[in-house]
Amino acid sequence: MVEFYREAYKADAGKLLPVLQQAQKLEQDPARRLALSIEMAKLADTGGTVEKAIELWKSVLKSEPGNAAATDSLRRLYEKTEKWNALLELLKERIEALPKEKVDERVERLLEVVAIYRDKLNLDVMVINTYNNILQLKPDHMAR
């Protein structure tokens, strides 16, 4: 039945989203439930409101932490809407999820955090604190 509505409402995300939400509530299989969540998020991302897309992508990330599509989409949407604090939280969660031995990746992501603090929020103290975190991870970082 969902296929019928996908075809009938393919041009109207506002009508298709509630149908998919209902299908998701009834779905017993976790993998299919996740697939429906991703489909709804993509649909809201292209044909809905930014706020709805953010809400749905956050739901995907909650169901599957580390989902690359959700993380990338949230990052793009947060940048688009200039929700810098939400983006910082997302980046910090990604940093914490990395294994401790992946120092270079942690440093790379911390540099993204520095850029936001410096360029978007003008929080010099947080820039310094984040650089200190980088130096704790990699003392020779600035020697390059």
Where a domain ends, among 81, 99, 115?
A: 81
Question: In this predicted model, what pLDDT tens digit does every residue of 89-104 receive, in sequence order?
Answer: 999 999 999 999 999 9
- Do 69 and 89 sit in the same domain of this protein? no
Please report, for the domain that includes residue 30, its CATH number. 1.25.40.10
Q: What is the DSSP string of 66-123?
A: T-HHHHHHHHHHHHHHT-HHHHHHHHHHHHHHS-TT-HHHHHHHHHHHHHIIIIIS--
CA-based nearest residue to 60, from 74, 77, 78, 81: 74
Look up the domain containing 97 and give its range. 83-144
CA end-to-end distance (rounded Å), the chain? 59
Q: What type of residue sits at position 36?
A: L
Looking at the structure of the chain, the number of domains it has is 2
- pTM, whole model, 2 decimals? 0.85
- Do 62 and 91 sit in the same domain of this protein? no
Question: In this predicted model, what pLDDT tens digit does every residue of 31-67 receive, in sequence order?
Answer: 999 999 999 999 999 887 899 999 999 999 999 998 9
CA distances from 29 to 60, 107, 131 (A): 15, 38, 45
pLDDT > 90: what percent of the chain?
81
